Amino acid sequence: MKKQYETVIGLEVHVELATKTKIFCACSTAFGGAPNTHTCPVCTGMPGSLPVLNKQVVEYAMAVGLATNCKINQYCKFDRKNYFYPDNPQNYQISQLYLPICHDGGIEIETTAGKKWIGIHEIHMEEDAGKLVHDEWEDCSLVDYNRSGVPLIEIVSEPDMRSADEVMAYLDKLRLIIQYLGASDCKLQEGSMRADVNLSVREVGAKEFGTRTEMKNLNSFKAIARAIEGEKARQIELIEEGKRVVQETRRWDDNKEYSYAMRSKEDAKDYRYFPEPDLVPVVISDEWIARIKQNQPELRDEKRLRYQREYQIPEYDINLLTSSKKLADIFEHTIALCHKPKEVSNWLMVETMRLLKEAELEPEDITFSPVHLSKLIGLVDSGSINRTVAKEVFEHIFRKDIDPERYVAEKGLAVVKDEGIIYHTIEEVLKANAQSVKDYYAGKTKAMGFLVGQTMKALKGKADPGMVNTILREMLEKSCQTAE
Amino acid sequence: MELMQLTAVALGKKLKAREVSVREAVEAAYKQMDSVEEMLHSFVTTDKDAALKRADQVQSLMMEGKLTGPLAGVPVAVKDNICTKGFPTTCSSKILEGFMPPYTAEAVNRLLQAGAVVIGKTNMDEFAMGSTTETSAYGITRNPWNTAHVPGGSSGGSCTAVAAEECSFALGSDTGGSIRQPSSFCGVTGLKPTYGTVSRYGLIAYGSSLDQIGPIAKDVTDCATILDVIAAHDSKDSTSVKREHYDFTSALMDDVEGLRIGIPRDYFIDGLDHEVKRAVLFVAEELRKKGAVVEEFDLSLVEYAIPAYYIIASAEASSNLARFDGVKYGYRAKEYEGLHDMYKKTRSEGFGQEVKRRILLGSFVLSSGYYDAYYIKALKTKALIKQAFDKAFGHYDILLAPAAPTTAPEIGRSLSDPMQMYLGDIYTISANLAGIPGISVPCGTDSKGLPIGVQLLGDCFQEKTIIRAAYAFEQTRGYQRCPLCEKGVSRVEETI
């Protein structure tokens, strides 16, 4: 019988914190500045410059730690990780090795297989590096230090995951917790959340772990899932062939769906860690921890319960709405304005999700304001516009955050309730479609639908279809009698 | 009257009284440089035009009554490892040749706000690694008391500039004795404050946990006055301490009545030159005569200070100096193939031998498998040394010791035997490991006519106690000019 294998996975997740300024200087963390404009002597490694810790970084790290059931090291320190690379202006990274801020926590995940606890070994604070840009024209490399010193936390899990499903669930849960805390926007594509996967395989029932590899360069959930499957297969194949897995760092190429060895344990770098002498230890008081706990916002699980209680909307809706902090925020803000939970939920779940998908965006990218969504719901509710028009208006709200009331007025999209206009339009339609009228009288009921459609089209969709139906039927019957 | 013969405070008074102009003071400094620099080489960079321009600005601010402090208009020389915008800052290393810092160090900024005029950057051992100012990439500095001898180091240039009256006072830095030892060799007064007293922001780091900027001047009054200006809490330096008082000049009292002075017996053993020993013990006797209580005691752990120091300082240096890689600023090798070759060649060509030795040593003690055996052990030793000092300061207000085991050695004698050179730091490095303040005050000369310094050590934040004792001793002897200044340059040249 073929051997059964089990995959053992641990993750190292880097999250860029949402502070306004960098971890060790007052430079902006904003994206998109011209190269080297968000820099100063500290984050460009000028001789004689010194780091000063940003308190907000500690608070975010603590908040994430507390929300993931970690213990807080009330005496924590920074260490230097030494390695030469031009994106790292000092040629050392200020990180935490010996006394990280959070340790020994975990979160519960849920997959189709049920609930499971995933342990978190530690969370530590560190600084991001700059970015190298290769100038093909000049054939040289340039470095942009705008990202240098942007605060990161690294969340190191225990090797508790056994499948890509569990990894996805863990990452998703982590992402949501951090987003809810406002500690990061956690966008994998933009790099504000990055994951390295440590993976080994062993025969089912084995007590010892197999030799693990670490995979880097995973920038989407799908890439992570594919990398796990690919690496698992690669390792099992090696074992089956009687070869051994080498402990090494591998780079995942998502296009080729294969990982390549970067460096093995033998030539692993010696980072010569030692305590950072330019920073004093961070001493965290009980009061400080209590304050962070107290200011902790409502997290997803609590929100779900409250939605059930307060809004009486289906569980499906709740799950979707709370799957993104941004979506939940819009939901709550819109309800506060229009008090129609199910309506708001529908707009978010159906139209919003459709438009996001079309534009390949995430809920975090939503730019429209709850005020405009609530006005739109008001317009539909009062019968001022019909649903077809409302969908069209919503697209404009979604894209440009327009004011629907003004838009409807300006474009003349309000429902035509004037019977005279509808009557007149139908007359024109009947004249132009004599064949269909004949068909109708001949008993082809389909013709009725066609005529309604033509009328609606002539009225640019603004008419109330019910009214059109009624009037059309009346008119057809009247003209039938006349004909007889 | 020679302006540069005056102490900084005396010159400051004349400037304030408008007996002399700031321009005249700065010109006097440059005139003295013109006559002695060729012989001594105290400076790496000078900029007379910039200094005179600044002198005129300071003068008008003084006229407007906006600058009234004791250092307003006084010419200062700054060690070349302290960043100064507008002046190249090289750490006397080829790797920082022509480097212009984009900002000014906090200590210098405080001096500038007080109206001091920076006249130049002084020579030093490369990256402050050395005890003789012979490891500078820009040539050695000579001792103004005898130009065949070294000035000590690493703040050699700052000490010779003060001794040879090329400036009124100077800033130095002290990681293992780099202010106190050359002060002793050059017959000037130098003070290393408690770690965290003067901001390190802008001081190019050697051993971050040990480095401290301090004043070098002709007398104790100057040192206290300068410390009043440069000592302050700085939010840009996380290791900067908020102290209760910064009024060091209030300790300038000729009163040591009842002061308890401890003499570490373990400092007065083999290796200490007998002339140095006699001169230093004479200071104890003078202070005793003034009412101090002097006792000998065993400090212990003295022999562990040097290995602990060289492990910690080199470990930190190996990381601190990693940023000098040819990528961002300073020297880059001319020819290379690819990134790693560029790193290798730049650093091989840019650093001197002593710096490379310490980078290698530091990288070794931090490498995996050796970290616990060396670095951790050194940190434990550091903590024990601190405890030994804590215990001593339980009994004594100050400790009295030599600043160095000998007077200044001849040029060319030290570098061939680095171990011997390292051993010369035995009396100074413990203060850096323990973070305590120390002052070196001239206390005589040996039979060769070379100056001897006595070192007074105080407990953390007790600068005032050592200033008081140093001031009281100073009253018994006064300032002794170096022969170069006393007899004039030409006379000295004849005797060499």
Whether A357 and A471 map to the same domain: the answer is no
**Given CB atoms, is B174 within the 8 Å cutoff of chain A?**
no
CA distance B200 to chain A (A): 8
B27: domain CATH number?
3.90.1300.10
Query: Is the confidence at residue A31, as pLDDT, over 70?
Result: yes
For chain A, the first-to-last Cα distance in angstroms comes to: 85
How are beta strands B398-402 and B260-264 bridged, if at all? Answer: parallel
Query: Is the confidence at residue B354, as pLDDT, over 50?
Result: yes
Q: B173 with B440: CB under 8 angstroms?
A: no
- What would the DSSP string read from start to end of A397-454? HHHH---HHHHHHHHT-S-B--HHHHHHHHHHHHHHTHHHHHHHHTT-THHHHHHHHH
Residue A166 banded pLDDT, cuts 50, 70, 90: very high
What are the chain B neighbours of A81 within 8 Å (beta carbons)? none
The region of weakest confidence among A55-59, A221-225, A428-432, B357-361 is A428-432
Mutation for A interface: B198, B323, B347, most A CBs within 10 A: B323
Q: How far does Cα A70 stand from its chain's mean position?
A: 24
Cβ of A50 within 8 Å of Cβ of B201? The answer is yes
The region of weakest confidence among A425-429, B132-136, B291-295 is A425-429
Residue B82 lies in a domain: yes
Query: Which class for B178: exposed (0-12), middle (13-18), buried (19 or more C-beta within 10 A)?
Result: buried
Whether A351 and A222 map to the same domain: the answer is no
The region of weakest confidence among A252-256, A306-310, B111-115 is A252-256
Query: Is the confidence at residue B324, as pLDDT, over 50?
Result: yes
- Predicted confidence at residue A481, as pLDDT, reads 63
Distance between CA atoms of residues B359 and B379, nearest Å:
18
CA B90, B96, B102 angle in degrees (round to 5)? 75
- Residue pointed to by tokens 């480097």: B99
The region of weakest confidence among A271-285, A466-480, B337-351 is A466-480
Which of B203, B238, B366 has its CB closest to that of A274?
A: B366
**Given CB atoms, is B209 within the 8 Å cutoff of chain A?**
yes
Q: pLDDT by residue (tens digit) across A323-356?
A: 888 999 999 999 999 999 999 999 999 999 999 9
Residue A423 lies in a domain: yes
Q: A260 with A251: CB under 8 angstroms?
A: yes
Which of A47, A53, A80 has its CB closest to that of B101?
A: A47
- Predicted confidence at residue A253, as pLDDT, reads 87
Q: A427 with A451: CB under 8 angstroms?
A: no
Which residues neighbour B68 within 8 Å (Cβ) at sequence distance 6 or greater?
B16, B62
| Nearest residue to B114 via CA among B61, B40, B63 | B61
The mean pLDDT of A393-403, rounded to a whole number, is 94
Whole-model pTM: value is 0.88
Cβ of A90 within 8 Å of Cβ of B322? The answer is yes
A462: domain CATH number?
1.10.10.410
CA distance B347 to chain A (A): 12
Query: Is the confidence at residue A484, as pLDDT, over 60?
Result: no
% chain A with pLDDT above 90: 67
CA distance B81 to chain A (A): 8
Query: Which class for B491: exposed (0-12), middle (13-18), buried (19 or more C-beta within 10 A)?
Result: exposed
Cβ of A45 within 8 Å of Cβ of B375? The answer is no
**Given CB atoms, is A90 within the 8 Å cutoff of chain B?**
yes
- Predicted confidence at residue B350, as pLDDT, reads 98
Residue B489 banded pLDDT, cuts 50, 70, 90: low
Q: What is the CA radius of gyration of chain A?
A: 30
Whether A394 and A426 map to the same domain: the answer is no
Mutation for B interface: A274, A276, A280, A282, most B CBs within 10 A: A274
Helix (H) or strand (E) run with residue A102 in it: strand A102-111
Query: Which token pair is A321?
Result: 């709405």
Which of A46, A51, A92 has its CB closest to that of B319?
A: A92
Cβ of B200 within 8 Å of Cβ of A52? The answer is no
Distance between CA atoms of residues A330 and A373, nearest Å:
9
**Given CB atoms, is B339 within the 8 Å cutoff of chain A?**
yes
Cβ of A272 within 8 Å of Cβ of B368? The answer is yes
What are the chain B neighbours of A47 within 8 Å (beta carbons)? 83, 89, 91, 96, 99, 101, 204-205, 323-324, 329
What are the chain A neighbours of B236 within 8 Å (beta carbons)? 50, 52
Residue A483 banded pLDDT, cuts 50, 70, 90: low
What are the chain A neighbours of B106 within 8 Å (beta carbons)? none
Q: Provide the residue type at A180 as one letter.
A: Y
**Given CB atoms, is B106 within the 8 Å cutoff of chain A?**
no
Query: Is the confidence at residue B494, as pLDDT, over 60?
Result: no
Whether A380 and A467 map to the same domain: the answer is no
**Given CB atoms, is B371 within the 8 Å cutoff of chain A?**
yes
Whether A39 and A147 map to the same domain: the answer is yes
Q: Provide the residue type at A198 as one letter.
A: N
Which residues neighbour A464 within 8 Å (Cβ) at sequence distance 6 or greater?
A383, A386, A415, A416, A417
Q: A320 with A172: CB under 8 angstroms?
A: no
Mutation for B interface: A23, A46, A77, A83, most B CBs within 10 A: A46
Q: B77 with B42: CB under 8 angstroms?
A: yes
Domain termination residue (choose one: A222, A253, A288): A288
Q: B188 with B481: CB under 8 angstroms?
A: no
- Predicted confidence at residue A479, as pLDDT, reads 72
Q: pLDDT by residue (tens digit) across A413-466?
A: 787 777 788 888 888 888 888 888 888 888 887 888 888 888 888 887 777 777
The region of weakest confidence among A116-125, A252-261, A311-320, B119-128 is A252-261
- Predicted confidence at residue A402, as pLDDT, reads 93
Higher pLDDT, A198 or A256: A198
Q: Nearest chain A Cα to B99, which residue?
A: A47
What does the buried/exposed string (b/e) look like for A275-312 if buried means 16 or more CB atoms within 10 Å of the residue's CB? bbbbbeebebeeebeeebeeeeeebbeebbeebeeebe
How many domains does chain B fold into? 1
Q: A147 is in which domain, residue-wise?
A: 5-288
Whether A275 and A304 map to the same domain: the answer is no
- Predicted confidence at residue B64, as pLDDT, reads 96
Residue A34 lies in a domain: yes
CA A149, A153, A156 angle in degrees (round to 5)? 140
Whether A62 and A208 map to the same domain: the answer is yes
**Given CB atoms, is B318 within the 8 Å cutoff of chain A?**
yes
Q: Nearest chain B Cα to A40, which residue?
A: B102
Distance between CA atoms of residues A409 and A386, nearest Å:
14
Q: Provide the residue type at A71 as one letter.
A: K
Helix (H/G/I), strand (E/B), else coil: A192: coil
Query: Which token pair is A268?
Result: 């692993």
Cβ of B201 within 8 Å of Cβ of A44? The answer is no
> What is the phi/psi pair of residue A110, to 5°?
-135, 125
Whether A240 and A221 map to the same domain: the answer is yes
Residue A293 lies in a domain: no
- The Cβ of residue A477 has, within 10 Å, a number of other Cβ atoms equal to 10
Q: Name the packing angle between helices A387-400 and A370-381 (round to 10°).
A: 170
Query: Which class for B408: exposed (0-12), middle (13-18), buried (19 or more C-beta within 10 A)?
Result: buried
What does the buried/exposed string (b/e) look like for A16-41 if buried means 16 or more CB atoms within 10 Å of the residue's CB? bbbbebbbbbebebeeeeeeeebbbb
What are the chain A neighbours of B315 within 8 Å (beta carbons)? 274
Task: Count contacts between A and B (CB, < 8 Å).
Answer: 101
- Predicted confidence at residue A1, as pLDDT, reads 53
Q: Nearest chain B Cα to A82, which residue?
A: B319
Query: Which token pair is A101?
Result: 């801020």
Q: pLDDT by residue (tens digit) across A47-103?
A: 999 999 999 999 999 999 999 999 999 999 999 999 999 999 999 999 999 999 999
Active site (catalytic) residues of B: 79, 154, 178
Which of B239, B319, B343 has its CB closest to that of A280?
A: B239
How many domains does chain A fold into? 3
**Residue B85 DSSP label:** T
Complex-level ipTM: 0.95
Query: Which class for A253: exposed (0-12), middle (13-18), buried (19 or more C-beta within 10 A)?
Result: middle
Which residues neighbour B444 within 8 Å (Cβ) at sequence distance 6 or greater?
B279, B282, B451, B452, B477
Which residues neighbour A423 within 8 Å (Cβ) at sequence distance 6 or greater?
A471, A475
Residue A475 banded pLDDT, cuts 50, 70, 90: confident
CA B186, B297, B312 angle in degrees (round to 5)? 60
Query: Which class for B64: exposed (0-12), middle (13-18), buried (19 or more C-beta within 10 A)?
Result: exposed
Higher pLDDT, A363 or B220: B220
The region of weakest confidence among A172-176, A387-391, A396-400 is A387-391
The region of weakest confidence among A126-135, A146-155, A275-284 is A126-135
Residue B334 lies in a domain: no
- Predicted confidence at residue A386, as pLDDT, reads 83
CA distance A127 to chain B (A): 16
Query: Is the confidence at residue B100, as pLDDT, over 60?
Result: yes
Cβ of A51 within 8 Å of Cβ of B236? The answer is no
> Could you tell me the CA-to-CA distances from B310 to A82, A173, B176, B413 in Å, in that order?
19, 49, 9, 21
Q: How far does Cα A115 stand from its chain's mean position?
A: 22
Cβ of B99 within 8 Å of Cβ of A47? The answer is yes
Which residues neighbour B153 within 8 Å (Cβ) at sequence distance 6 or greater?
B124, B125, B128, B130, B131, B132, B133, B134, B135, B178, B181, B182
**Given CB atoms, is A39 within the 8 Å cutoff of chain B?**
no
**Residue A347 DSSP label:** I
Which of B208, B324, B367 has its CB closest to that of A278?
A: B208
**Given CB atoms, is A86 within the 8 Å cutoff of chain B?**
yes
**Given CB atoms, is A278 within the 8 Å cutoff of chain B?**
yes
**Given CB atoms, is B363 within the 8 Å cutoff of chain A?**
yes
- Predicted confidence at residue B410, as pLDDT, reads 96
Helix (H/G/I), strand (E/B), else coil: B78: strand
What are the chain B neighbours of A82 within 8 Å (beta carbons)? 318-319, 322, 366
Query: Which token pair is B440?
Result: 């070196």
- Predicted confidence at residue A417, as pLDDT, reads 73
CA B86, B90, B93 angle in degrees (round to 5)? 165
Which residues neighbour A8 within 8 Å (Cβ) at sequence distance 6 or greater?
A159, A161, A162, A199, A200, A201, A202, A209, A210, A212
Whether A395 and A435 map to the same domain: the answer is no
Query: Is the confidence at residue B452, as pLDDT, over 60?
Result: yes
Higher pLDDT, A304 or B487: A304
Distance between CA atoms of residues B227 and B223, nearest Å:
6
* Count of alpha carbons within 13 angstroms of residue B430, beta-carbon side: 32
Domain termination residue (choose one: A411, A429, A449): A411
- Predicted confidence at residue B270, as pLDDT, reads 80
> Could you tell me the CA-to-CA distances from B473 to A119, A281, B283, B371, B442 in Å, in that order?
66, 40, 7, 45, 10
- Residue pointed to by tokens 């040879």: B164
Whether A255 and A280 map to the same domain: the answer is yes
Domain termination residue (choose one: A288, A322, A352): A288
The mean pLDDT of B271-282, rounded to a whole number, is 95
Residue B205 lies in a domain: yes
Q: Tell me the pLDDT of chain B averaged across its residues.
A: 95
> In chain A, what's the furthest Cα-to-Cα distance?
103
Q: B73 is in which domain, residue-wise?
A: 3-253+466-495
Q: Nearest chain B Cα to A44, which residue?
A: B328
**Given CB atoms, is A35 within the 8 Å cutoff of chain B?**
no
Residue A265 banded pLDDT, cuts 50, 70, 90: low
- The Cβ of residue A396 has, within 10 Å, a number of other Cβ atoms equal to 17
Whether A219 and A350 map to the same domain: the answer is no
The region of weakest confidence among A403-417, B109-123, B168-182 is A403-417
> In chain B, what's the furthest Cα-to-Cα distance?
70
Residue B370 lies in a domain: no
Query: Is the confidence at residue A311, as pLDDT, over 80?
Result: yes
- What would the DSSP string read from start to end of A211-265? --EEEEEE-SHHHHHHHHHHHHHHHHHHHHTT--PPPEEEEEETTTTEEEEEEES
Whether A241 and A379 map to the same domain: the answer is no
Mutation for A interface: B92, B235, B236, most A CBs within 10 A: B236
For chain B, the first-to-last Cα distance in angstroms comes to: 27
- Predicted confidence at residue A389, as pLDDT, reads 86
